[in-house]
Structure 1
């Protein structure tokens, strides 16, 4: 009888050990195979708070939270035309928990000498979000009423027209240099610490023109202080439909600020499968479209593959264009 009871007890213990082992093993497997995402995601932003890049990135981060069900926390890392933030992103763990906003400077910083390893091939590109072409903009009381008058004067008066940009080597410096090269003119390039100070200098009559984006001059045009002579694009701007493009005037040049989202290279496919559709949904959201209308930029979604081809073509262009123009940081 005692022997029978002992055998039963040992059987119960063995069963408990077996069940505990299975539960433990099952818990370990569940943890290992937990679906992405299951914790906070960091959004790295290359620009200071309040600007266009920051606004787009934070809006998308907010929408991602709704779709993915985890916090998406934005962090600004400024410096070196975005190279500081992009280098940080590039060196992060490719697990989908660190993503970032990448601007047009992704295609430029290597040619400018800010970062030797930052280029489209160094990232997993998730999707393009926005684009805003350059303009040639003057004061409303300027003697130049058309882009033809502006170009004619520049040809007759080399280096006399002072054109403000957002900093040496910036996209808007490139825009001015591109217009200069295409029209066979010579400007006096005046760098500022951003587009806003350049526009303020134009309004204060300290310079003669700026080559910044549609979104950055829209409020000045609406207030009657500025006049856009041309948009440096192949398509008319929906915000200034009456303004001719440079291509319409015979100059086949396009310069635009653009942005999108990226992760470190070698992002696992299962993470991409969850993240890329969520990015697309966030970019196509009514929230971002509303801000785009208010801030005068275009929501221009491209999926990861399309965005990579676009960014690579831009990179190839600027790797030739920037040295040819003699532009250095």
Structure 2
């Protein structure tokens, strides 16, 4: 067979295959959606903690409020473990296309300085900050301590026996309790959990003596009379808990807490980041978002991506110095 005849047969066979594919309903793959089409399907928002805590509540409020400003839904996915590192690593190593985002918390900064994570805040592009909350010490309603002074005196009387739960080793609530030790001379037995929600449930069950978490994460139980808050580590009393003193009012020079915001993998296209920031700004201004946050006693703070990035850089220095000063080790 000559070369010419061979090529003609190949061409005829290719045409036949093409016709058969058409008859069977096969088609060439459609072009992949680009940044200008974003979003063309649902977006995953990774919460790196268990359901039930303030971070989870914030994420769900945001997802609900975003419906007016997105053509697609935001799906909340809880990925607890390792103080938040499991969830953040998943997002960091995901395709940077805007379809997998993360709720960022202060632990993004603390874990690397404790040697518990290899990532750093530069692995994310900040979208916006949505919240800020102080730490608080909360105990069961029938606990024998009615003031922070009584609580600390009991801890000093039996060093390392006061069981104080937190949301994980190296978490901001772990650091808050450690900073309280440093300021007062008390010594706690720090009990880590995979999020504030499980820590609070352990307190309700009598398995620990106290929790160092945010007011938002205990508010429902405090209002129901099951728990009582002894002190908040804020500059001013909180509106929702105006009878609870600040640490400074009790002679303890300590202000510490968390913030929460949204982030995307660092190589996410600029067009997608611009869209995400636009959606987030509109969602943060929704009355529904504010209503849910107020109901959950989550402190509302909105800053855009540029300001949030500056906050990350500044707080990274602060927490590195704090961890070094307190000699906190996992």
Q: TM-score, normalised by structure 1?
A: 0.79
CA distance in 2, matches of 1:49, 1:228: 22
Partner of 1:66: 68
Equivalent residue of 1:159, what SS?
Answer: coil
Residues 137 and 210, structure 2, Cα contact 8 Å, conserved in 1: yes
Partner of 1:307: 308
**1:160, distance to aligned residue in structure 2 (A):** 4.1
Aligned length: 299
Return structure 1 stretches of 4+ with deviation > 6 angstroms: 30-34
CA distance in 1, matches of 2:325, 2:209: 25
CA distance in 2, matches of 1:138, 1:49: 21
Partner of 2:284: 283
**1:278, distance to aligned residue in structure 2 (A):** 1.2
Specify whether residues 73 and 156 from structure 1 end up closer, same or farther in structure 2 by C-alpha distance, changes over 3 A only: closer
Determine which structure has more spread, i.e. the larger CA radius of gyration: 1
Residues 136 and 209, structure 1, Cα contact 8 Å, conserved in 2: yes
Residues 61 and 293, structure 2, Cα contact 8 Å, conserved in 1: no
Residues 134 and 213, structure 1, Cα contact 8 Å, conserved in 2: yes
**1:70, distance to aligned residue in structure 2 (A):** 3.1
Instruction: Give the superposed CA RMSD.
Output: 2.8
**1:156, distance to aligned residue in structure 2 (A):** 4.5
Is there any run of 5+ residues in structure 2 with no aligned partner, and where? 1-30
Equivalent residue of 1:75, what SS?
Answer: strand
**1:204, distance to aligned residue in structure 2 (A):** 4.7
Equivalent residue of 1:108, what SS?
Answer: helix
Structure-to-structure mapping, 1:39-78, within 5 angstroms: 39-45=40-46, 46-78=48-80
Residues 165 and 194, structure 1, Cα contact 8 Å, conserved in 2: yes
**1:129, distance to aligned residue in structure 2 (A):** 1.3
For each residue in 1:251-302, what CA deviation from the matched residue of structure 2 results, as whole angstroms up to 9, or x when unmatched? 3322323211011224443333322121011122222222212222112111
Deviation larger for 225-234 or 42-51: 42-51
For each residue in 1:54-87, what CA deviation from the matched residue of structure 2 results, as whole angstroms up to 9, or x when unmatched? 3322332344343132343443333322222212
CA distance in 2, matches of 1:43, 1:183: 43
**1:206, distance to aligned residue in structure 2 (A):** 4.3
